[in-house]
Amino acid sequence: MDRSQQLFDRAVKVLPGGVNSPVRAFRAVDLCPRFIQSAHGAYIYDTDGHKYIDYVCSWGPMLLGHDHPAIREAVERAVKDGLSFGAPTEREVEMAELMVEMVPNIEMVRMVNSGTEAVMSAIRLARGATGRDKIVKFEGCYHGHSDCLLVNAGSSALAGGHPSSAGVPEDIVKHTLTAQFNRLDTVEALFGQWPGQIACVIVEPVAANMGVVAPEKGFLEGLRALCDRHGALLIFDEVITGFRLAPGGAQAYFGVRADLVTFGKIIGGGMPVGAYCGSRALMEQVAPCGPVYQAGTLSGNPVAMAAGLAQLRYIRAHPELYAGLEQYAEELAAGMRRAAAAHHAPVAVNQIGSLIAPFFTPTEVTTFVDAKGSDVGMYARYFKGMLERGVYLAPAQFEAMFVSAAHGREELEQTLEAVDGALAAL
Ligand code: HOZ
């Protein structure tokens, strides 16, 4: 029995499903999860000494690859000064200044500890600022695990068969309205049905928790126009797209303005961090300036800020890295399509920036309905084939593949060889 299996056998006795976050249990691919020992550059290493090219990248934040020296050294320096103070530090100011400089349309930042917290707080702020209760989200979009957003959610909520969670009171979710991603008419209908009652529309500008689905031309612009017309706020959940599509995130990439923007792990360079941001007028509604309450001892944690600052400073100094990320992802996606055609495998490969998702379906995937139509059993077999060939993918269909700046020519060729072998063996 290998070490991962031994650890998993112990884990299931003391952790629900053997894990601290559902997708890691590998249930969607019907395997024992690999327990990870370490990671460096484009690679992760499991406790059994196997080496994998990593396309999970901690679900996105390892944009520069694992164990990047600039981030490691910044963390080592910060640790020497102390781990947590529950009081303001210079790094928080530097971090907020840097974010305001890099991200369009934001003037103020509130740091929190995760994407879930950021989004939950942004929704509270949108409701507080507009005096309205209803919110619009998209089916298959995932915004963390707060009560009002666990309605028709994506990611592991979807893969595990519980897109709307038990334990969430009907009274709370009655204010959550769901529309269809890339279908503006469904949003327009909700505004028609609930005039003057919708506080905000929240969207992942690229849906990346149903696989990866890019916004069609005009979709984000249309959301902006609808929100303006009806006095609602537009929230971009940039937990995945922030600092990944571009240094300015999806607002910069697509040229569409959001009223509030939420970030997650990527601004911590791998440490637990999140933030919600917006105009001064909106953000000054948050306590202690205004009546919207939100707080946290670990918010702006000095070690997490050091890691995040190092990552964002590196990105700002090396904007050329985005062209490299995109080129890698384009070549990988093109190679995956070629391999699928050669093996007569029904695969639609979606790619935008450094995000990729293969869907096991013969039709193109532009909506959640299309994504849900893909063959998850086939994805599971493909996942296993890739793992056996040294490539670590997301262990569920409804997730993204993340490329890092540490992925190079060698990794690209090895991955494409693995794709060829895994598709041939399906
Ligand atoms: N919800 C995350 C994927 N979209 C997974 C979090 C994790 O297991 O680390």
Give residue 42's pLDDT: 98
Q: Is ligand 1 within 6 A of the CB of residue 398? A: no
Give the architecture (CATH level 2) of 3-67+320-425.
Alpha-Beta Complex (3.90)
- pLDDT per residue over 25-50, tens digit each? 999 999 999 999 999 999 999 999 99
Give residue 164's pLDDT: 80
Give residue 154's pLDDT: 81
Q: Is ligand 1 within 6 A of the CB of residue 59? A: yes
* Selection from 18, 16, 17, 51 nearest residue 36 by Cα: 51
Q: Is ligand 1 within 6 A of the CB of residue 399? A: yes
Beta bridge partners of 36: 46
pLDDT band for 271, please (50, 70, 90 cuts). very high
- pLDDT per residue over 290-346, tens digit each? 999 999 999 999 999 999 999 999 999 999 999 999 999 999 999 999 999 999 999
Q: Choose the residue to mutate in 15, 27, 59 for probing ligand 1, maximizing ligand atoms within 8 Å of C-beta.
A: 59
Question: What is the distance between the alpha carbons of residues 272 and 305, in angstroms, rounded to a whole number?
Answer: 10
Q: Is ligand 1 within 6 A of the CB of residue 397? A: no
Query: pLDDT at residue 165 above 90?
Result: no
* Selection from 126, 401, 100 nearest residue 237 by Cα: 126
Give residue 352's pLDDT: 98
Query: pLDDT at residue 61 above 90?
Result: yes
Give residue 326's pLDDT: 98
Give residue 377's pLDDT: 97
Residue 22 alpha carbon, nearest atom of ligand 1: 8
Beta bridge partners of 137: 178
Give the architecture (CATH level 2) of 69-317.
3-Layer(aba) Sandwich (3.40)
Say what angle helices 90-102 and 302-317 make with each other, to 10 degrees: 30
Query: pLDDT at residue 402 above 90?
Result: yes
Give residue 321's pLDDT: 98
pTM of the model: 0.97
Query: pLDDT at residue 147 above 80?
Result: yes
- pLDDT per residue over 109-133, tens digit each? 999 999 999 999 999 999 999 999 9
Q: How far is the CA of 192 from the centre of ligand 1 (A)?
A: 35
Answer yes or no: 237 catalytic.
yes
User: How large is the average pLDDT for residues 378-403?
Assistant: 98
Q: Choose the residue to mutate in 21, 212, 239, 393 for probing ligand 1, maximizing ligand atoms within 8 Å of C-beta.
A: 21
Q: How far is CA 299 from CA 119, 124, 187, in A?
A: 14, 17, 34
Residue 21 alpha carbon, nearest atom of ligand 1: 8
> Domain residues of the chain, as ranges?
3-67+320-425, 69-317
Give residue 162's pLDDT: 73
Question: What is the distance between the alpha carbons of residues 254 and 382, in angstroms, rounded to a whole number?
Answer: 32
Residue 144 alpha carbon, nearest atom of ligand 1: 1
Query: pLDDT at residue 160 above 80?
Result: no
Q: How far is the CA of 242 from the centre of ligand 1 (A)?
A: 16
Give residue 195's pLDDT: 98
Give residue 74's pLDDT: 98
Question: What is the distance between the alpha carbons of residues 272 and 20, in angstroms, rounded to a whole number?
Answer: 14
Give residue 22's pLDDT: 96
Answer yes or no: 265 catalytic.
yes
Question: What is the distance between the alpha carbons of residues 64 and 209, in angstroms, rounded to a whole number?
Answer: 21
Could you list the beta-strand ranges (E) of 294-393.
348-352, 355-359, 391-392
The amino acid sitting at 133 is D
- The percentage of the chain sitting over the pLDDT mark of 70, rounded to a whole number, equals 100
Instruction: Give me the residue label for tokens 């919600």.
Output: 276
Alpha carbon 153 to its chain's center: 13
Answer yes or no: 142 catalytic.
yes
Residue 24 alpha carbon, nearest atom of ligand 1: 8
Give residue 239's pLDDT: 98
Q: How far is the CA of 157 from the centre of ligand 1 (A)?
A: 10
User: How large is the average pLDDT for residues 90-113?
Assistant: 98
Query: pLDDT at residue 163 above 80?
Result: no
Q: How far is the CA of 59 from the centre of ligand 1 (A)?
A: 6
Mean pLDDT over each residue of the chain, to the nearest integer:
97
Query: pLDDT at residue 159 above 80?
Result: no
- The percentage of the chain sitting over the pLDDT mark of 90, rounded to a whole number, equals 94
